[in-house]
Amino acid sequence: MKRSAIRELLKLIAQPGMISFAGGLPAPETFPVEPLRAAADKVLTTLGSQSLQYSESEGIAPLRDYIAASHSRPGYTVRRENVAVVNGSQQALDLLGRVLLDENDTVLVENPTYLALLSAWRPLGVRFSAIPCEADGLRVEDLPALLQANPKLAYSIPNYQNPQGSLMSLPRRRRLAALLREYGQPLVEDNPYGDLRYEGEPLPDVFELNARNGDAGVLETEVIRTGTFSKVLAPGLRLGYVVAHPSVIDKIVLAKQSTDLHTASFNQYLVLELLQSGLLKSQIPKIRDFYRLRRDAMLAAMARYFPDVVQWTHPQGGMFLLATLPHGANTSDILSTALAQKVAFVPGADFHLDGRGENTMRLNFSYNTPEIIEEGIRRLGQVLHHALAQCPRQPAQPVTTAIFSASGGKLTKSSEASALRR
């Protein structure tokens, strides 16, 4: 088991004066502190000790019902039996790995992909197989060949992927949903950032395009949809969920029982109260406006301060972007210099499967104010100018097929972002 690079870094960057683009922290200014205080008061007044007692491993019934209803569509019905509540979507990934994967199983993942997914499943002894990616998502046309290896699971973040911020296009979503059904291929669709959309129209989840009512009203789907309230409410409540076929939910619940019995009842009642109060209707637009400013501030500062030879992605949502330095540059080495200049990022190599990505860095734009982002990117720009001065002055080479490949021209879809990109 490898120590998570991100979380170790989080300790280093706690030094005073440090500007960190390393973590994946939401902005605390967006947390609904006052609504939560009112919710805690109401839950303890009306439910009292019931909200503090042991509860079912599946999650409390009214919260499961709420999640089920919010995932139902005219073409199919999600029921309570399709939902399990967990301690943030990270626990969903951990439990799914434990109940669905065996040693030497093949798992298809986007490359680069979410670091903590790799940390959670690597100890199981599985083999990760990379799905080539482009600016508009994984190369669905390559999937049939990859599926010949009988992967036990596939994993994707279609919305504003971590670490790249890429967004899977609607045609690719449709084709992926159909392929999963055709091959009976299970896919974990992780969607922590879907609501953090700063431009463009919302796209349907792969789950939505794949799910259908089966016999006896049982939901049929190859997609295992994980979700979380960490980004739209607050991460410190640790509340996430899985929506899937009942056979998958049953296995998760079995594992959950012996793992930690159940997710905190109190937190489930708190979040249910917030959801029923309609808070998200005002909360999500507020968060979008808030984070859009920060993304734009980072893109503008990068355009101003970063060396010409550096390229970066232009996410339409989410919390991260990925910058790529010229081939030969090593962002792990550069990090030491950056930390000395009181600015932090996550070197990109750990997100990559194939030993590449040494010249990439992940930058978070959700946590810092626009002013601090400007100052941090200025510092980082100086560090990069210095570090790259020794390098041959050649343009950045794409380290993966992601983002910078064939459809490179589609990198920037919004006119604002386009204007900021040089």
Burial label, 112 (beta-carbon count in 10 A; 0-12, 13-18, 19+): buried
Beta strand segments in 247-327, E = 311-312, 320-324
- Return residues touching its own copies (CB under 8 A): 1, 3-4, 7, 10-11, 23-26, 28-29, 31, 33-34, 36-37, 40-41, 44-45, 48-57, 86-88, 90-91, 94, 99, 116, 119-120, 123, 230, 234-238, 254-255, 257-267
Rounded to 10 deg, the angle between the 279-305 and 265-276 helix axes is 90
Could you tell me the smallest distance in angstroms from the CB atom of residue 267 to its own copies? 6
What is the CA 418 to chain-centroid distance, rounded? 24
Query: With respect to its own copies, which residue has the nearer C-beta, 34 or 201?
Result: 34
Query: With respect to its own copies, which residue has the nearer C-beta, 92 or 411?
Result: 92
Query: With respect to its own copies, which residue has the nearer C-beta, 25 or 293?
Result: 25
Nearest Cα neighbor of 336 from 377, 387, 268 is 387
- State in Å, rounded, how far the first CA of the chain is from the last one: 40
Could you tell me the smallest distance in angstroms from the CB atom of residue 90 to its own copies? 5
Distance CA 77, CA 206 (A): 16
Could you tell me the smallest distance in angstroms from the CB atom of residue 132 to its own copies? 26
Could you tell me the smallest distance in angstroms from the CB atom of residue 405 to its own copies? 30
Nearest Cα neighbor of 82 from 233, 226, 215, 203 is 226
Strands 311-312, 106-110: pairing is unpaired
Distance CA 233, CA 182 (A): 37
Could you tell me the smallest distance in angstroms from the CB atom of residue 381 to its own copies? 27
Nearest Cα neighbor of 243 from 257, 226, 265, 218 is 226
29: which residues sit within 8 A by CB, 6+ positions away?
Answer: 290
Q: Count of residues for the chain? A: 422
Query: With respect to its own copies, which residue has the nearer C-beta, 257 or 282?
Result: 257
CB 292 within 8 A of CB 198: yes
Query: With respect to its own copies, which residue has the nearer C-beta, 372 or 391?
Result: 372
Could you tell me the smallest distance in angstroms from the CB atom of residue 127 to its own copies? 18
Could you tell me the smallest distance in angstroms from the CB atom of residue 85 to its own copies? 12
Q: Positive or negative, the Cα torsion across 47, 52, 56, 61?
A: positive
Which residue shows structure tokens 């990069």? 384
* 84 sits in which H/E element: strand 83-86
Query: With respect to its own copies, which residue has the nearer C-beta, 54 or 389?
Result: 54
Could you tell me the smallest distance in angstroms from the CB atom of residue 120 to its own copies? 4
Query: With respect to its own copies, which residue has the nearer C-beta, 52 or 372?
Result: 52
Q: Coil, strand, or helix at residue 236?
A: helix
Query: With respect to its own copies, which residue has the nearer C-beta, 36 or 384?
Result: 36
Could you tell me the smallest distance in angstroms from the CB atom of residue 55 to its own copies? 7
Query: With respect to its own copies, which residue has the nearer C-beta, 103 or 371?
Result: 103
**Could you write out the three-class secondary structure of 11-50?**
HHCCCCCCEECCCCCCCHHHCCHHHHHHHHHHHHHHCHHH
Burial label, 391 (beta-carbon count in 10 A; 0-12, 13-18, 19+): middle
Query: With respect to its own copies, which residue has the nearer C-beta, 256 or 352?
Result: 256
Could you tell me the smallest distance in angstroms from the CB atom of residue 188 to its own copies? 15
Query: With respect to its own copies, which residue has the nearer C-beta, 50 or 282?
Result: 50
Distance CA 364, CA 345 (A): 8
Nearest Cα neighbor of 113 from 102, 104, 103, 121 is 121
Could you tell me the smallest distance in angstroms from the CB atom of residue 44 to its own copies? 4
